[in-house]
Amino acid sequence: MNSNYDTFSQVMLGTATKENILLILPERFNTNTLKKIISSYFLKSIQNQKIAVISVEKENLDLNLNIFKEEEFIHETLNIVIPTDTIKEREKKYRTSNIIFITPHLLKNDFLRQLVVPEDFSLLLIDNAHLAKGKHALSLMLEIFHQNNIFIRSFFFFILIDV
């Protein structure tokens, strides 16, 4: 493990390799380092599996993509899947990508359309986990994994906002 990472990030990586995590963070906490080291570990240790970086808000898809545009991910195929992509474009992105940036609504629908299968993923990095309640697309997407007895490592980021 890279010794340049802070102790907190190293502990989170160790925990993420063993169990799912709901990480509650203070407002304005930068999750970029955590996303990168956890993704890097899973890409190296679990071959031929994809990572989904799930942003509940569409505006955050580009922000998350920019986190991974660094030298350590230069050999990885990164793609944003958006609703305006055609079915063929989405299928190609799923087939050729190591890391997918997507909203939970679109991923859930593409599971149901069988454009991609849940078994293709080894890790879900989920922003704004506090929105995953009730009939939210994120809850329904996670239910697909549960109903099909598919174990997937999930890392939920929950930011505490001072009101």
Which pair of structure tokens corresponds to residue 95?
A: 């087939």
How high is the pLDDT of residue 159? 67
Q: At what angle do helices 7-16 and 32-45 cross, to 10 degrees?
A: 40
Structure confidence by residue, pLDDT tens digits, 108-149 = 999 989 999 888 998 999 887 776 667 778 888 888 878 877
pLDDT in tens, 8-57: 777 777 777 777 777 777 777 778 888 888 888 888 888 788 999 998 87
Domain boundaries, the chain: 38-160
β pairing state of 78-80 and 99-102: parallel
Closest CA to 15 of 41, 43, 47: 41
The amino acid present at 146, given as its one-letter code, is: H
Instruction: Specify the range with the lowest mean pLDDT, choosing from 3-12, 44-53, 71-80, 86-95.
Output: 3-12
- When the pLDDT of each residue in the chain is averaged and rounded to a whole number, the result is 82
Gyration radius from the chain CA atoms: 15
| Amino acid occupying residue 85 | D
Q: Provide the H-helix boundaries in the chain.
A: 7-16, 32-45, 60-67, 87-96, 104-112, 137-147
What is the secondary structure of 62-103 as a DSSP string?
Answer: HHHHHHT-SGGGTTS-EEE--TTS-HHHHHHHHHH-SEEEE-
The SS3 call for residue 54 is strand
Cβ(155)–Cβ(125) under 8 Å? yes
Structure tokens at 110: 């593409």
Q: 50 has which bridge partners?
A: 121
Q: With contact defined as beta carbons under 8 Å apart, do 73 and 99 qualify?
A: yes
Q: Which CATH superfamily is 38-160 part of?
A: P-loop containing nucleotide triphosphate hydrolases (3.40.50.300)
